[in-house]
Amino acid sequence: MAEYFSDLLYIYPVKSIAGIPVKALKLNDRGLEFDRFWMLVNENYQMLSQRDFPKLNLLKIFEEENSFKILDPSIPESYVKISKKINTIKQVEASIWNQNVQAALVDFEASDWFSEFLNFKVFLIANARRLKFKQLNEKNHELQLNFQDGYPVHLINLKSVSDLSQRCNLYIEPERFRANIYIDLPEPYYEDQLKYIRINGIEFEFLKPCERCIMINLKSKSASFTPEPLKTLSTYRMYSNKIHFGSYIKPI
């Protein structure tokens, strides 16, 4: 099994908000600790994302000892803290990608802060325990998740990003892809042929390619969509009408 090291590790505590770098891969039964642990929903408890609300891409997030601090850079001293200790107000049924999940409504102060930022009523929920069954690579997989799109860990090969930048004739920031692990593999798209990998001493199994959407056309810290890199990717990474870039993996 090939072994690699990466010090570019990220979690995204609130789904569709900026990520933060972490020093180590802290894994639990649902992927990386605190990754997509919280999610914003509307009054019907339906998921909100940058696809529909790109303004979320402007927010900054920092980790503190007992909380995560989220800031609106456009307004001095405008921030909210989300405690790592969950204080459940009530249990709710929320919707994420047409799947209903049980979650906890956790923080009215944070919900009000995000509502003011987006100019409509939203709620912050947490601690979903999603169970998905997938048949991949001729095997049945039982996947436990927080609010990830569908798989526990997302990996990006930095050489693939460099190749894409050259094809676009435009620098594409790796952060656009919102991966958990950024790694230098031997060549671009080398990840396509891998079944297993060891990263920082932890073994992972490759599950499937990541299917890309318009979110990667959002530059870092921008609320405006651009044509690239999705336009260029569609010319050479299209498989069964889906654009593939990056990989979903799980610890084994």
Q: What is the DSSP string of 3-47?
A: EE---EEEE-SBTTS--EEESS--EETTEETTTT-EEEE-TT-BB
Q: Give me the sign of the Cα torsion angle 61, 62, 67, 72.
A: negative
Report the predicted TM-score, pTM, of the whole model to 2 decimal places: 0.95
Residue stretches of the chain with pLDDT short of 70: 135, 138
**Integer Cα distance of 151 and 250 in angstroms:** 7
**Integer Cα distance of 126 and 129 in angstroms:** 9
pLDDT for position 138:
65
pLDDT for position 7:
96
pLDDT for position 130:
77
Residue 125: which of 85, 89, 81 has the closest Cα?
89
- The CA distances from residue 182 to 59, 158, 169, in Å, are 22, 6, 21
Per-residue pLDDT reduced to its tens digit, 15-58:
999 999 999 999 998 899 999 999 999 999 999 999 999 999 99
DSSP 98: T
pLDDT for position 140:
77
Strand partners, 144: 131
